[in-house]
Chains A and B, each alone.
Chain A
Amino acid sequence: MSEINNCYNTWFGEVCLEDGLKVFRSKNLKESFQSCKNWKLPFSVKDAGMIAFGSESEYYRNLRRTALQVAEERVRKELQSDERYLISLLKALDEIDLGINLFSEKIRDIEETRESSLTEKFNQIVSDLKTFRKDLENEINSHAERIIPNVSSIAGGVIAARLLEKAGSLKKLASMPASTIQIIGAEKSLFKAISRMKKGKKAKTPKHGIIFQHPYIRGLPKKKRGKMARFMAAKLAIAARIDFYGGELNEELVEIVRKKYGELQER
């Protein structure tokens, strides 16, 4: 802010009030557009801008072009950092799970050998970790709901975040065919199967990846799981595309998946 000498920052440069408006047009509109904080201006930016650009149409043409460029850059950056945040929450969740398992094992080891007041403390740590895990999971769910509403409405926040993590970015996830989404996270077993086959051995290719953790798949008898996974992967592929293009939540998509699950359960 440079109001001291009666000068103000505007998106197109500096404007000073000295018997009339004096305009110093910026050489880099994108830069001045992003550094024009003021409180109330004692003049109309547009009036001053017309001096800089000569006509109303030139004023708006430049303003719109600059605003669009800046907005696109900001959106790209923010969405990237949103995705990174979600992925880092997910990694924290996995590490906490490891911690909980590790401590629980230790507690069992100690308890098996002798009574000890130490197990009290261990138990406390585990229960704190579990509380924290819950908070973390809530944060993952609400963040996933915001940035990938459609994928997470079908898959749930945690599985959705995991798909995002494995794919690398929403952009990549959105460009994957359903058949790939179906086996995301099963790559290791896929590679194993391929290398076995190359050696001329028998191998089963994996049918389901991360989405196998979904209650709608786990909740089905084994022989129906492949069918459900295929169906869900197809809908997730659509959901990822809607999310990538910034679409709103499409309730129908979840509804179809729920119905399919119901059908398969009954048959």
Chain B
Amino acid sequence: MRVIKEILNNTFIVEHRDSSFLATKSRYPPFYGEKKIGDYREWKAYRSKLAAVILNGYTPSIKKDAVMLYLGVASGTTASHLSDILDSGIIYAVEYSATPFKKFLELAEERENIIPLLEDASKPENYSGIVEPVDFIYQDISQKNQIEIFSTNADLFLRDGGEGIIMVKARSIDSTSEPSEVFNFVLSELEKFFDILKHGGLEPFHKDHIFVHVRK
């Protein structure tokens, strides 16, 4: 096994037996059925949209000591890698469905940089007495009003100059319009409040999705 390229803190492209893959360096065991070779946990792009963004050639800079608010953490697939990356940071992880969150709690028990919150991201007032000002908001909630939810959370918690990544699934916002129309609408909404640093698709890993990277 050999490291080909460093992408972010603890994040590498590694080569093993003639195939190369994205991985995070981790002292923890596999969490969602990914393989682990040596210290490197494979980061699967079909399972994690952030891995898809990176494999498609764009790497948002995420600092290892960043304070992050994660909206829609589900069972923690992506969060497990973010926890490797932010090894001296903190992740406030919000999810409102108890079913995936139960599995996520196994991760939260094990990782010291995770604060689990079983809360509704559309009611940030319920956790405003808990979450400190953050450097980064990662949102993956597939909701019709997810842009509004992102903006309110950014208003409450994101420091000036802080950044965010929003994953948008066209069908969740509007199931009848063309994905490209939906994406244009989303971008124009975000532009009202944020600088758009980059956006792009997640094909072939996730169909009819885009990511948008913004700054406040």
The chain A residues found within 8 Å of chain B, CB to CB, are 8-11, 33, 36-41, 44-46, 60, 63-64, 67-68, 70-72, 74-75, 78-79, 82, 146-147, 245-248
Bound-state Cα–Cα, A8 to B125, Å: 12
Partner of A44 from B90, B116, B133 at Cβ < 8 Å: B133
Question: A64-B112, A71-B105 known; 17 other A-B pairs, CB under 8 Å?
Answer: A8-B129, A9-B129, A36-B130, A37-B128, A37-B129, A38-B129, A39-B125, A40-B156, A41-B129, A45-B131, A60-B112, A63-B130, A64-B115, A68-B116, A79-B99, A82-B99, A246-B100
Whether B103 contacts A67 by the Cβ 8 Å rule is no
Determine chain A's interface SS by DSSP, over half rule.
Answer: helix
Asked whether A11 and B129 contact (CB < 8 A) given A79-B99, A245-B103, the answer is: yes
**A68 cross-chain contacts in B, Cβ below 8 A:** 105, 108-109, 116
- Does B117 make an interface contact (CB < 8 A)? yes
Q: B108's closest neighbor in chain A, by CB?
A: A68
- Does B1 make an interface contact (CB < 8 A)? no
**B133 cross-chain contacts in A, Cβ below 8 A:** 44, 46
Whether B118 contacts A75 by the Cβ 8 Å rule is yes
**B197 cross-chain contacts in A, Cβ below 8 A:** none
Bound-state Cα–Cα, A78 to B102, Å: 10
Looking at the assembled complex, report how far the CB atom of A208 sits from the nearest CB atom of chain B, in whole angstroms: 29
Interface residues of B in 61-112 (CB under 8 A from A): 75, 90, 97-106, 108-109, 112
Q: List, sorted by A's number, 8 A–B pairs whose CB atoms are closer than 8 Å.
A: A8-B129, A40-B128, A63-B130, A67-B108, A75-B101, A79-B99, A246-B101, A248-B100
**A44 cross-chain contacts in B, Cβ below 8 A:** 132-133
Bound-state Cα–Cα, A248 to B117, Å: 20
Bound-state Cα–Cα, A41 to B128, Å: 7
Bound-state Cα–Cα, A26 to B140, Å: 34
Whether B117 contacts A67 by the Cβ 8 Å rule is yes
Bound-state Cα–Cα, A64 to B118, Å: 13
Across the A-B interface, give the 4 residue pairs with the lowest CB-CB distance, nearest first: A36-B129, A246-B103, A246-B102, A46-B132
Asked whether A74 and B98 contact (CB < 8 A) given A39-B125, A44-B132, A246-B75, the answer is: yes
Whether B130 contacts A78 by the Cβ 8 Å rule is no
